[in-house]
């Protein structure tokens, strides 16, 4: 008998990819529609993927209520919850290698909200799996740092980088993350009641990324440092600006994710080579002749 999953935020980038991955794995996929009753929608499903992600400026107002609603629906239905996590919970003083067991010490607003959300799940008694990843790279423009800023002018030979180009930064290819979510869903009964895991993905400096993009497009790519003055000027008029400035430290603080435990749990997991990731993310009309490989891939 096939298993079933309810995807919250199915039209967003994470929700879209997890829905496709579960469908490909033979699961019955329900996509939650805003306005429906969440508890009713969750009845009969085995897993709820909470891919809801309001704009930063609405996190304080919306995230606590959404968290309570998901927990209530999971308790009523008996479903496990899988929560896409990020690195915000560690804060600006995070060590370079982060993952399970590293204390969550963030005190900045967005980090505090994520900490509180995860603590609510931990205290709820609902079986919860957090899969934590770095910045996403998507196969379509979806409003992330890579497509909106960093790679916007790569075709013209310029990579616009929002921090120091020599700082290691964690990246994750969304289709690979989504397949890992499915693998964890299929092994949920053997996991602790609250499981915190890291998806290593690919760790790159800005210089590494420019070099890889140059190889993908077949021409030199130089790194140009992004200026933050426009965000400062936009703060009185655009609520998201202050939160983007709040998270600026991620581009000046070296960090990589430790995926050792995820690799142990999913020993057959595969990741897409960086060359193919960039070909798809940059919408290039090429198909690099590289097989999918095991484990994280660096430049």
Mean pLDDT by groups of 10 residues along the chain of 299 residues: 90 96 97 94 98 96 97 98 98 96 96 98 98 96 92 95 97 98 97 98 98 96 96 96 97 97 94 95 62 38
Burial category of 17 from C-beta neighbours within 10 Å (exposed 0-12, middle 13-18, buried 19 and up): buried
pLDDT for res 239? 95
Burial category of 35 from C-beta neighbours within 10 Å (exposed 0-12, middle 13-18, buried 19 and up): exposed
Tokens 């930064």 sit on residue? 169
What whole-number distance in Å separates Cα of residue 53 and Cα of residue 12?
A: 8
pLDDT for res 1? 54
pLDDT for res 287? 47
Residue 20, C-beta contacts closer than 8 angstroms, at least 6 positions apart? 175, 178
What whole-number distance in Å separates Cα of residue 262 and Cα of residue 160?
A: 32
Tell me the whole-structure pTM to 2 decimals: 0.93
Structure tokens at 33: 């529609």
**Edge-to-edge, what's the strand order for the sheet holding 169-173?**
135-137, 169-173, 202-204
Tokens 């919408």 sit on residue? 283
């Amino acid at each position: 008998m096939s298993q079933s999953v309810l995807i919250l935020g199915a039209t967003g980038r994470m929700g879209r990819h997890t829905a496709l991955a579960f469908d490909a794995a033979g699961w019955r996929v329900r996509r939650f529609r805003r306005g429906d009753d969440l508890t009713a929608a969750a009845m009969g499903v085995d897993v709820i993927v909470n891919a809801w992600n309001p704009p930063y400026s609405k996190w304080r107002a919306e995230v606590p209520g959404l968290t309570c609603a998901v927990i209530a629906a999971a308790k009523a239905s008996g479903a496990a919850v899988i929560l896409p996590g990020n690195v915000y919970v560690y804060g600006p003083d995070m060590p370079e290698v982060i993952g399970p067991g590293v204390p969550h010490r963030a005190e900045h607003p967005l980090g505090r909200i994520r900490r509180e959300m995860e603590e609510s799940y931990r205290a709820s008694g609902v079986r919860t799996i957090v899969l934590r990843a770095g910045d996403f790279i998507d196969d379509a423009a979806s409003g992330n740092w890579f497509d909106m800023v960093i790679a916007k002018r790569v075709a013209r030979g310029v990579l616009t980088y929002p921090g120091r180009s020599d700082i290691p930064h964690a990246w994750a290819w969304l289709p690979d993350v989504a397949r890992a979510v499915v693998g964890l869903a299929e092994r949920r009964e053997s996991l602790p009641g609250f499981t915190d895991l890291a998806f290593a993905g690919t760790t790159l400096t800005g210089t590494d990324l420019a070099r890889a993009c140059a190889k993908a497009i077949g021409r030199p790519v130089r790194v140009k440092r992004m200026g933050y003055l426009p965000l400062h000027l936009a703060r009185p008029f655009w609520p998201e600006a202050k939160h983007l400035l709040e998270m600026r430290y991620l581009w000046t603080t070296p960090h990589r994710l430790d995926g050792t435990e995820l690799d142990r749990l999913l020993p057959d997991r595969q990741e897409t080579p960086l060359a193919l990731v960039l070909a798809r993310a940059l919408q290039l009309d090429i198909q690099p002749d590289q097989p999918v490989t095991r484990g994280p891939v660096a430049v």
